[in-house]
Amino acid sequence: MPINTGAGTRLYIGPRLTGPLPPTPAAAITLLSGLTYVEVGELESIGDYGDTINDVTFAGLAAGRAQHLKGLADAGSSELSIGFDAGDAGQLALVEAFLDRSRYDYPIKVVYVDGETDYFAAKVMSNKKTGISVEGVLKRTVTLGINSEIYEVVAP
Cβ neighbour number for residue 45 with a 10 Å cutoff: 13
**Rounded-to-integer distance, Cα 88 and Cα 92, Å:** 6
Each residue's pLDDT tens digit, 3-31: 889 999 999 999 999 999 999 999 999 99
Residue by residue, pLDDT tens for the chain (156 residues) are 688 899 999 999 999 999 999 999 999 999 999 999 999 999 999 999 999 999 999 999 999 999 999 999 999 999 999 999 999 999 999 999 999 999 999 999 999 999 999 999 999 999 999 989 999 999 999 999 999 999 999 987
CA 76 to chain centre: 9
CA 130 to chain centre: 20
Q: What is residue 1's predicted lDDT score, i.e. its pLDDT?
A: 64
Q: What is residue 22's predicted lDDT score, i.e. its pLDDT?
A: 97
- DSSP β-ladder status, 10-13 and 151-153: unpaired
Assign 106 to helix, strand or coil.
strand
Q: What is residue 156's predicted lDDT score, i.e. its pLDDT?
A: 77
Second CATH level (architecture) for the domain 10-153: Irregular (4.10)
